[in-house]
Structure 1
Amino acid sequence: MTSTLTAVDTPEIQGVPAQRSRASRPVLTRRPVVRFRRSPADLALCAALLTAIMVVQGWNIADYPALSDDEGTYLAQAWSVQQGTGLAHYTYWYDHPPVGWMQIAALTWIPSLFSPDSMTVGTMRIAMLVVSAASAVLLYVLARRLWLPRWAAGLAMALFGLSPLSVVLQREIFLDNIAVMWMLLAFCLAASPSRHLWHHFGAGIAAATSVLSKETMLLLLPALLITMWRHSHRDTRKFAITGAITACALIGLSYPLFALLKGELLPGAGHVSLWDGITYQMSRPGSGFLFDPGSGSYGVLQSWLYYDRVLPIGGLAGALLLLATWRWSVTARALAGPALAVATLALVAMRPSGYLPAMYVVQALPFLALVLAGGAASVTHAALRKGRRPDERQITRGIRLTVTAVLMATAAAYVVPRWYDGNHTALTADANAPYRHAAAWMATEVPEPAKTRVLVDDALWLDLVHAGYEPGLGAIWFYKADLDPAVTKTMPGGWRDLDYVVASPTVRRDAVDLPNVKAALEHSTAVATFGDGEDRIEIRRITGGDR
C-alpha cells in the first residue's frame, strides 16, 4: 500500500563519532512499496476494524442521537433533487453549495425507490454508514501512506470510528461527514507512493468536491498542499502542485459560474444571490470565545467533551507536539499536514467573533485520530528503540518494555470505561420517541391533511409530506413563514392562516426572532404533548383571531 521510511543515523568512521551536523541528522530510506490490496495483514486488520465500526455506528442509529433540524433540511433538499423540483424544497438561496445534498440524494435514491414513505431522517441515517465506512478505510490507507506502522494505522482507524463523539456525529446526516470523506481521499492521493501526476490532479478534484460539499473545508487546503509537497517527486513537483491547484480551482469555480448563468451571482431586485448567501454566512452572530463559560462556543465545546475527552484533547496535544518537533522527528515530518489541519481548525474555533456550529468538530475527527495514533507510534518507537551497545540492549530492553506496557495499560484503563459508557448510550437510548409519536399523531388525528397548514421544523417536514400534507404550503418549514417571500405572500393573515404548530425544541428556541412563528405559538393551545422538559414536542392548534 505504501512505502515506509526508516530513520538511519550517520555511521561512525573508524570508531570516531561523526560530527553532529545537518548531514548527520536522521535521513529517510525508502523501503519497497507494499500495496494495500496485496497485504493480507492490512486487509484483515482493516476489515475487522471496519466490521466493529459499522456494528457500533449502525446499531440503534435511528433512535440516537435526537433528530436535528439541519439533518431534516439536508434530507428535504435531497428529496427535492430526487423529485426533480429543484435544488431545495423551498427557494434555493445559496446557503451552502448543493453538491453535498445531491450526494445524499444519490445515497438515498435506492431505498426511496422501494419505500418512498420511509425517506425520513431516522431511517435515512443508514445511508451515512456508507460514508462512515469509506472514510474509515481511507483513514487507514492514509495512515499507512504516511509511514505509520500497521498497529498505529489500526489505532487511528479505531479512534476515528469508535470514539463516542464520532459515533454520535457520524450517524447524523451532515454535509461535513460527506466533505470529510472527499478530503481524506484527496490526502490519500496526495500521499500516493506512486507519485503519478494524475494522483495529484485527482487530489485537486477530490479537494474541490470536498469544498463544494461543505465550504468550510477550504481551511484544510494548506494542509493538503503540504502533504502533496512532501510526497511529490522533486523533478515533477511543480507540475504536480500546479495541476492540483488548477484542477481544484476550475471545479470550485463551477459554483459561482452556476450562479452567474442563473443571473444570481450578485444582489438584485426579485432574486436571491450567491453574494447574499456568502454575506449571511460571514455575518452570522458570533458564538463568543471558546473558553468563556458564558459563551455559546463554550457550550458547544462542553457538548463535545461530554461524549469524549480523549480524541479532542489528546489529538490537539499530539498535533502541537508534532508541529513543535517536526525538525527532529521523522514521524512529525510525515504527519505535518494532518497536524497543521488540526491546528488550523482549532485556531478558527477559538475566534471570539466567529460562529461555532456543533458539527464543526466533524472536520477535525480523522486528523485528531491520525496525529494521536502517530504520537503513540513515536513514543513507542522511542521506548523500544534498541541501544547502540550490546550491554545497553540487555539492560534497558526489559525496562523499556515494562514502561511501554504500563503506559498502554494506563491509557486503556482510562479510555475503555468512558468509551463504553458513551457508546452504550448510543446503542441503547431512544431520544426520538417524541418525534415518532408527533409524526404519527399528525398523520392520524388531523382530518384533512391536504387542506391543513402546519408550521414544523425540518426534522419532521418529510414525515408530514408523506402523511399527505402539501409540500411547502401545507407542511411549512417554520423559518420560511417569516424569511421566504414566496411563502409569506401565501399568508396574508400571518399566523391566522395557519392551523397547527408542531413546537419542537428548535421551533421554541428560534421563535424569538421570527414574528409569525412567535405569534402562532402565543395564539395556540397544546392539544398533544410528547416527551417532557426541554425536549418535549407540543402539537398546538391555532385558536386566536377568526378561528
Structure 2
Amino acid sequence: MTTLAVRPIRAHAKPRASRRTEVVLVVAVLVVSAVLHAWNMFGYPYFENDEATYLSRGWAFITEGQLDVNTYRYDHAPLGWMGIGGWLGATGGGALFGGMLEAGRVLMLLVHVANTFLVYLVGKRLTHGRITAGMIAALVFALSPLGIYFQRRVLLDNLMVLWVLLAILLLVRRPLTLGRTIGSGIAFGVAVLTKLNAAFFGIGFLVLLWAGAAGPQRKHAVLHWLASAGGTVLLFFVYAMLNDELLPAPVDADGVPARVSLVDTFGLQLGRGDFAWPWEAESSFQLAVGSWLVKDQFTMVIGAGATLALLAMMVLRRFRDAGTVAVVVFILSYCLFLARGGIVIDLYVVPALPFLALAVGILVARITEIAPPGALRPVIGSAAAVAIVAGYVMVADQKHLVTDETANQVAAVEWIEQEVDPDAVIAADNYVYPELAQEGGYSGTMYFFNAEYDPELRESYADDWRDIEYLVLTHEVLDQIAQGTVPRMAEVLAHSELVASYTSGSSSFIDLDARISTNGDWVQVWRTKSRNEIVLQDAWERFRDDWLVSYGQVLEDEPGTTTSLDQALALEQALAQDDQAAFRGIWAWTTDHLRHREADSLASWQWITDELGDGELASPDTVCAADQRFIGLLLDAADAWELGGLRAEASDIADDWWSRCTFTVDGLRLVDSSADGSVDDQLVNPSYFDPVLYRRLAEELPDHDWQRLVDDGYAFLGRVADERGTVPNWVVLTQDGELERASRLTGAGADRFGEDTLRLVPTLLREELAGEERASDILDTLVPQLVSYAADSPGLPAGSTLAMVAQVRDIGYDPAALYRTQVASQIDPDTGTWDSTLADFAWTYSWHRFQRSLPTDVTVPLA
C-alpha cells in the first residue's frame, strides 16, 4: 500500500540567483508597488464609512483610553484600531497629512509595501528559495486594481493580512524552531484579534506546521502553535468577561438589552443577511464576485485559474509539495467562508488577494521547473512577468490613477463647517466624524448606525428622530436605509429637505426614491423639517392613502360626495409636499369631472359617487371660493415646477372668475358665493374674502383690479361688523345696497357667528401680522365672540381657531396649552396624523398650515 507523504519545506542549499540581482528586482517591485499605491490615493477610492470608524476608534483609544467613541459593541476585535491609534498618536492625528483620513491612508501605503515584501518572501520560501515565485506573486499583488482599491483604504483587513503573512513567514523559515512556532501562533492570534475572519486561515497553518516540523516533533509544534494562537485570541474573551459583557445580556420589557454582549454581537454578526446558496444568482456571494470582477477581472481570473492548476498539480503529485498544498488550502478554506451562504461584503476579498497572487507565483515557478536548467528558466520567468504587466495595462481598469472620488466628500464637509452650527445634532456617514467631531468641535455629530442603536446617543437626542437636525447622506447610509437596518434614519430622510448636494462627476446611479446608489463618490446634506412640517407631511400621506382615489378624486366614503373645496384642499397639500404627480392627477380629475360648464371654465362644486363607484355631477353650480383657490394654486404650481401651461390655465380661469364671481353693488366690488347666484340679491360668504391671495394675483395677473377687491372687501366687512355687531356666516346684499338676513336662503345659523366665520379668522390674522390695520379692527370685534363661541360650542373648529388667535393676540390663553388640548389631542400617536373625518382633518390641517405664516417667536413648539 502506497503512503502519501508531504515533502517538507526545506532550507535551500544555495541561492538561485545572485544576491545583487535579487535586491534590485525586489526594490524595483516595491517601488512600483509604492508608486502605484500612492498615486492619487487621497482621491481614489472614496472615503468609506469603515475607514473613519477605525480611525475615530483609534483616536479615542489613544486620547481617551476607550475602545470606541461611544459604547464598544464587540462588532470587531480591537487590536487593529489600537495600532491605528498608535500611528495617529505618532503623527499628530491629522496634523501631518491634512486630516485623519489622509493619515490613515499613508499608514495603509506603508502596510501595503510591507505586505508586498512579505508576499515576495513567502512565495520565495514556499518554493524552496526560488525568487520567480516571490517576484511574480509580489508583482500580481502590487499591480491588482482590486487590491489597490481596498488596500488604499483604512481597513482592518489590510492589517490582518500583514499579521497573517508574518505568521506564515515565521513557519516557512528553516529550521522551524520552538520560538518561531510560538511567534507564528502569537502573530496569527494578533491577526484574529485584528479581524476575526483571519481564523478561517487556520487550517493552512496546520498544513505548514505538519510539513515543516520533523516527524516526532509535529504534535508538539501543533500544540505549541495552537496554545500560543488560542491564548492570544482568548484575551478578547477574557476582556469581555472581566467587563461582564461576555454572556447574553438580559432584556427589558421592550426587548432592549440592558448592556452589550460579545456573544450577542457574535450571534448578530453571524445572522447578517439572508441565507442563500453560493450558486444562487441573487446570493451575496454571487453579487460580491460580480462586483470584484467589475473592479478587476484580470486578477480574479488569473488567480482562480492558477488555484485550479495548482489543485490539479497537487493531486497529480500526491500532495507531496507542502507549499502548493498550503496555498491551495489557504485559498479553499477562505473560499468556504465566503461561500457559507451569509452576507459577503466587497472588502472580504482583501485577505484572499495575497494568496491568489501566491498561487500565480507558485504556478509560474513550477512551470519554469519543467524547462531544462540554464538560461531558458529566467526567460520564462521574465516573459511571465512581462505578460502579467501587459495584461494589467491592457485589460485592467486604470481609473485608480486618475479618478477623483473624494472631491464631493471634501466639499460636503467644508459646507457643513461653513453653514451648520457646531452644536447641531448631525447623523452622518462616519467619514465625516474624525474631522467634524474629533478635530472640528462638532460635538453633536454621530455615526448614523450608533445614533440608531446606541442607548447613550439616543438619549442625547431624546430618543426622538425629529431632534436629529441634519443627515449626511451617502451611499452607505442609503444602502442601510434600503436594507431596513436603520429605521430612524429612514424617518429622518423621509422628513427632510435637501440643503446641499455634491454629486458632480459621480459615477454612481442614484435613485433616492428607490433607495438605490451604486457608488460612494457623492454626498448630500439633508436638514430635518420642523415638527410642524413633519406633521403636515404625514398628514398628506394619510390623506393621499385614505381619501384620494382613482387618479385624483377626494372621496371620504363610498357612497360619498366630492366637492370642489375638497379638491382644492388636496391640491394645496400636494403642492406643499412637492408631489407633482399627485397634483397633476388631482387637477386632471377635477377638470375631467367638474369643469364642463358651458358659460365659463369654472368648476362645478359637487360630484356624487354611488356604492358601485360610479359617479355623476350632483350640481353644476360653483363655489367661488374653490375657484379662486384653484387660480392661486395653479400659479404656485407653475412657478414651483416651471409648468407654463398651468399659468395659462390659471389666467383663463381668472378671467371667467372675475366676470362671473365678482359683482358691484353700491359702489363695492365683492366676491359672490357662486357664479350662479340670484339675479336680484347677492348671497355673500365673508370667509371667501382672501386679501392675501388677491395681492398675489395683482402681481401675477394685473389685467384685473385685484386691489379693489381687497379695499372693497374690507369696507364691506367693516360695514357688516358695524351693523350686525359681528360677521355672520352668510350675508345677503340687495341691489339697493341693504344688508339682509341669509337664513331664508341657507337655513338656520346663517346670520350668526359660526364655522364659516371661523374660516375668516386665520386670513385676518395673517393680514394683521403683515400690518393691515383694517384686519385688526375687524378682529377686535370677532375675537371676544370667538372666545364665547368656543366656550359655548367646544370642538375642533372653535378650539383650533382659538389656538391660532392665542398665538398672535393676548387673549388670556396659553397657545401651547390650547394646541395640546384642542389640536394635538386629535392626533393619533401611532400614526402621527389625524384619524377622524375629512371635515375634522381640514380644521386640524388649517392650524398647522397657519404656522407657516407666523414669525418664529410666536410659533408653538410641537411635542
* Range of TM-score over shorter length: 0.7 to 0.9
Match of 2:111 in 1: 131
Task: Give the Cα–Cα distance (whole angstroms) in 1 for the partners of residues 488 and 356 of structure 2.
Answer: 43
Matched, 1:490 2:460: yes
Give the partner amino acid of 2:468.
Answer: L
Contact 1:143 1:153 survives alignment (8 Å): yes
The correspondence for 1:503, drawn from 473, 476, 481, is 473
Please give the secondary structure, in 2, of the residue aligned with 1:430: coil
Matched, 1:373 2:361: yes
Alignment of 1:370-449 (within 5 A): 370-382=358-370, 384-385=371-372, 413-419=390-396, 422=397, 424-446=398-420, 448-449=421-422
Task: Give the Cα–Cα distance (whole angstroms) in 2 for the partners of residues 316 and 462 of structure 1.
Answer: 39
Offset from partner CA, 1:131-156 (integer Å, 9 cap, x none): 11221111111112112521221111
Give the C-alpha shift of residue 500 in structure 1: 1.4
Give the C-alpha shift of residue 113 in structure 1: 5.0
Please give the secondary structure, in 2, of the residue aligned with 1:540: strand
Match of 1:277 in 2: 265
Contact 1:97 1:214 survives alignment (8 Å): yes
Give the partner amino acid of 2:395.
Answer: R
Give the C-alpha shift of residue 71 in structure 1: 1.3
Contact 1:72 1:121 survives alignment (8 Å): yes
Offset from partner CA, 1:417-457 (integer Å, 9 cap, x none): 123xx2x31111100111000000111122x31x2111111
Contact 1:323 1:332 survives alignment (8 Å): no
With 365-374 and 536-545 compared, the bigger mean Cα shift is at 536-545
Please give the secondary structure, in 1, of the residue aligned with 2:526: strand
The correspondence for 2:153, drawn from 148, 151, 172, is 172
Matched, 1:43 2:20: no
Alignment of 1:10-21 (within 5 A): none
Please give the secondary structure, in 1, of the residue aligned with 2:159: helix
Match of 2:526 in 1: 540
With 157-166 and 282-291 compared, the bigger mean Cα shift is at 282-291
Match of 2:169 in 1: 188
Give the C-alpha shift of residue 461 in structure 1: 1.2
Give the C-alpha shift of residue 366 in structure 1: 0.8
Inter-CA distance 492–466: structure 2 relative to 1 (3 Å threshold): closer
Give the partner amino acid of 1:539.
Answer: V
Contact 1:331 1:374 survives alignment (8 Å): no
With 228-237 and 435-444 compared, the bigger mean Cα shift is at 228-237
Larger radius of gyration: 2
Task: Give the Cα–Cα distance (whole angstroms) in 2 for the partners of residues 142 and 161 of structure 1.
Answer: 15
Give the partner amino acid of 1:385.
Answer: P
Give the partner amino acid of 1:432.
Answer: T
Match of 2:334 in 1: 345
The correspondence for 2:91, drawn from 102, 106, 111, is 111
Give the C-alpha shift of residue 529 in structure 1: 0.8
Task: Give the Cα–Cα distance (whole angstroms) in 1 for the partners of residues 291 and 190 of structure 2.
Answer: 29
Contact 2:48 2:431 survives alignment (8 Å): yes
Inter-CA distance 232–27: structure 2 relative to 1 (3 Å threshold): closer
The correspondence for 2:291, drawn from 303, 315, 329, is 303
Offset from partner CA, 1:392-417 (integer Å, 9 cap, x none): x9xxx99x999999888766654431
Alignment of 1:223-238 (within 5 A): 223-238=204-219
Alignment of 1:193-342 (within 5 A): 193-269=174-250, 270-286=258-274, 288-326=276-314, 328-329=316-317, 332-342=321-331
Task: Give the Cα–Cα distance (whole angstroms) in 1 for the partners of residues 6 and 492 of structure 2.
Answer: 70
Task: Give the Cα–Cα distance (whole angstroms) in 1 for the partners of residues 336 and 210 of structure 2.
Answer: 23
Contact 1:287 1:297 survives alignment (8 Å): no
Give the C-alpha shift of residue 349 in structure 1: 1.9
Offset from partner CA, 1:241-297 (integer Å, 9 cap, x none): 221111111111111111111111112342111111111111111374445443443
Give the partner amino acid of 2:471.
Answer: V
Inter-CA distance 226–443: structure 2 relative to 1 (3 Å threshold): same
The correspondence for 1:530, drawn from 502, 506, 511, is 502
With 77-86 and 38-47 compared, the bigger mean Cα shift is at 38-47
Match of 2:726 in 1: none
Alignment of 1:135-154 (within 5 A): 135-147=115-127, 149-154=130-135
Q: Compute the TM-score of the two structures, normalised by the length of structure 1.
A: 0.85
Match of 2:679 in 1: none
Match of 2:830 in 1: none
Please give the secondary structure, in 2, of the residue aligned with 1:46: helix
Please give the secondary structure, in 1, of the residue aligned with 2:395: helix
Matched, 1:460 2:432: yes
Give the RMSD, CA atoms, in angstroms: 3.1
Please give the secondary structure, in 2, of the residue aligned with 1:125: helix
Matched, 1:363 2:344: no
Give the C-alpha shift of residue 112 in structure 1: 2.4
Please give the secondary structure, in 1, of the residue aligned with 2:221: helix
Contact 2:136 2:364 survives alignment (8 Å): no
Give the partner amino acid of 1:490.
Answer: S
Give the C-alpha shift of residue 465 in structure 1: 1.5
Inter-CA distance 466–289: structure 2 relative to 1 (3 Å threshold): same
Task: Give the Cα–Cα distance (whole angstroms) in 2 for the partners of residues 273 and 292 of structure 1.
Answer: 33
Inter-CA distance 297–544: structure 2 relative to 1 (3 Å threshold): farther
Inter-CA distance 343–304: structure 2 relative to 1 (3 Å threshold): same
Please give the secondary structure, in 1, of the residue aligned with 2:215: coil
- Identity, % of aligned positions: 27
Inter-CA distance 139–266: structure 2 relative to 1 (3 Å threshold): same
With 498-507 and 460-469 compared, the bigger mean Cα shift is at 460-469
Match of 1:17 in 2: none
Inter-CA distance 84–180: structure 2 relative to 1 (3 Å threshold): same
The correspondence for 1:477, drawn from 447, 451, 456, is 447
Task: Give the Cα–Cα distance (whole angstroms) in 1 for the partners of residues 84 and 384 of structure 2.
Answer: 43
With 142-151 and 400-409 compared, the bigger mean Cα shift is at 400-409
With 537-546 and 258-267 compared, the bigger mean Cα shift is at 537-546
Give the C-alpha shift of residue 301 in structure 1: 1.2
Task: Give the Cα–Cα distance (whole angstroms) in 2 for the partners of residues 515 and 259 of structure 1.
Answer: 29
Offset from partner CA, 1:79-130 (integer Å, 9 cap, x none): 1112124100110011111111111112222222571894432442111112
Inter-CA distance 463–222: structure 2 relative to 1 (3 Å threshold): same
Inter-CA distance 240–58: structure 2 relative to 1 (3 Å threshold): same
Higher relative contact order (CA 8 A, sep 6+): 1
Give the C-alpha shift of residue 502 in structure 1: 1.2
Inter-CA distance 406–521: structure 2 relative to 1 (3 Å threshold): closer
With 435-444 and 501-510 compared, the bigger mean Cα shift is at 501-510
Match of 1:96 in 2: 76
Contact 1:211 1:218 survives alignment (8 Å): yes
Matched, 1:78 2:52: no
Give the C-alpha shift of residue 31 in structure 1: 6.5
Give the partner amino acid of 2:330.
Answer: A
Inter-CA distance 258–445: structure 2 relative to 1 (3 Å threshold): same
Give the partner amino acid of 1:540.
Answer: W
Give the partner amino acid of 1:375.
Answer: L
Q: Compute the TM-score of the two structures, normalised by the length of structure 2.
A: 0.55
Aligned residue pairs, count? 508
Please give the secondary structure, in 2, of the residue aligned with 1:136: helix
Offset from partner CA, 1:468-526 (integer Å, 9 cap, x none): 3444xx00111122211111122226122122111112222222422321221122211
Gaps of 5+ in 1: 1-20, 387-392
Give the C-alpha shift of residue 30 in structure 1: 6.0
Please give the secondary structure, in 2, of the residue aligned with 1:529: strand
With 103-112 and 88-97 compared, the bigger mean Cα shift is at 103-112
